[in-house]
Amino acid sequence: MTKTRFFFIAPLLVFLVMVGYFAIGLTKDPSVLPNMLEGKPVPEFSLAPLQGRDDIGFKNTDLMGDVTLVNVFGSWCVACLIEHPFLMAIKAQDLIPIHGIDWREEDRTAGPLWLKKHGDPYTRAGDDPVSKAAIAFGVTGAPETFLVDQKGIIRFKHVGPITEPIWRDTLQPLIEALRKEGAS
Amino acid sequence: MRLFFVFLLATLIWSPSGHAVNPSEVLKDPALEERAREISKGLRCLVCQNQSIDDSDATLAKDLRVLVRDRLSAGDTDEEVVGYVVSRYGDFVLLKPPFNAATLILWIGPFLAVLIGLIAIVFFFRRNSRQHAVGTVAEPLSEAERKRLEALLLENDK
């Protein structure tokens, strides 16, 4: 008798397990992609300098020796403009060097003009018109920011604009920990 | 009129399938281009996630198509090209999920479900037929039962 009862209950149990799986699945955001590069060295890249910016371009070896942020931006990117004042504040307080990857500008003057208009928070900046560096970094959209340690290893990636809570709760503590790690 | 239909049919047959590859992107070597197309069809566009980079007009998809072609031209194998993109974006970038520990349930789940169903069916019929078998070799009637049955039958005949 109990056996028969089990046969009747089994489909319901299977159904409930499936509901459980789907319920978990629904809470996941499919646009959040796995971060493949965390803990790995910065990919090899070498970008030309932005026009009018007397810099010597930006390449992966520039990221050795210091804890830095690499920020992917573009003059076409609305969210980058939201983030921009925050980057300027970081620069003004000299909290950490920020390097920029000017991603996918149609026009070679668009990025430099944008920086001239809104301010230039970047120590180094490279022009990435065909996503060479962006793809190497696994970038899917701008802005995206990578925290790189002294050995040139990517320690953290943030997708979307950097905001006060993200800086205070995540980036700043991580940066301090990395600096201590490097000093010892 | 007939010519018109022939023409219509021809355009239907030879119309290019919907893909976003620009003429400027196409490689000169047709064999290499064919490989690039095959790879592109299996790679997800990261911007519009349910399209392949072969289908997508997004700029990142275009850059990925060009990257696939650059790497093939440089002598990479198909696996190396796909491996590079996966190393940047993860398995997610593959439209056909790979067979590994994380996707085991996805791949064998349906077969498992069919197997469980078959086992259930076999069990069900076995049990049923066993019950029937028990029914045919039922215990003979007791003396009291036989008498009662006869009485009933007699009553019926009246």
Name the residue ranges covered by the structural domains of chain B.
16-98, 103-157
End-to-end CA, chain B? 89
Which among B40, B47, B100, B42 is positioned nearest to B71, based on CA atoms?
A: B40
pLDDT of residue B129: 77
Q: Is A137 on the interface with B (CB under 8 A)?
A: yes
Distance from chain centroid for Cα B119: 23
Chain A residue nearest residue B84, CA to CA? A136
CATH topology of domain B16-98: Helicase, Ruva Protein; domain 3 (1.10.8)
- In this model, does residue A33 exceed pLDDT 90? no
pLDDT of residue A5: 78
- Whether A122 is covered by a domain: the verdict is yes
| Element holding B32 (H helix, E strand) | helix B30-41
pLDDT in tens, A148-171: 999 999 999 999 999 999 999 999
If one compares B5 and B69, the residue with the highest pLDDT of the two is B69
A33: which chain B residues are within 8 Å (Cβ-Cβ)?
46, 89-90, 92
Distance to chain B for A81, nearest Cα, Å: 20
Distance to chain B for A83, nearest Cα, Å: 21
Which among A12, A175, A141, A148 is positioned nearest to A68, based on CA atoms?
A: A148
CATH assignment of the domain containing A60: 3.40.30.10
Distance to chain A for B109, nearest Cα, Å: 12
Q: What is the mean pLDDT of residues B59-67?
A: 94
Question: Is A138's CB within 8 Å of B120's CB?
Answer: no
What value does the mean pLDDT of chain B take?
85
Among A10, A31, A138, beta carbon nearest to B88:
A138
- In this model, does residue A62 exceed pLDDT 90? yes
Q: How many CA atoms lie within 13 A of B87 on its CB side?
A: 12
Question: Is B63's CB within 8 Å of A130's CB?
Answer: yes
Q: Report how many domains make up chain A.
A: 1
- Whether A87 is covered by a domain: the verdict is yes
- Whether A40 is covered by a domain: the verdict is no
Residues in CB range of B136: below 8 A, 6 or more apart: none
Range of A174's domain? 46-183
How would you list the strands of the sheet with A125-128, edge to edge? A58-59, A46-49, A125-128, A98-103, A68-73, A144-148, A154-159
Which among B56, B63, B73 is positioned nearest to B20, based on CA atoms?
A: B56
Contacts 24+ apart (CB under 8 A), B145-154: none
Q: Is residue B77 a contact partner of residue B44, using CB atoms and an 8 Å limit? A: no
What span, in angstroms and rounded, lies between the C-alpha atoms of A73 and A143? Answer: 5
- Whether A3 is covered by a domain: the verdict is no
Distance to chain A for B126, nearest Cα, Å: 13
* pTM assigned to the model: 0.77
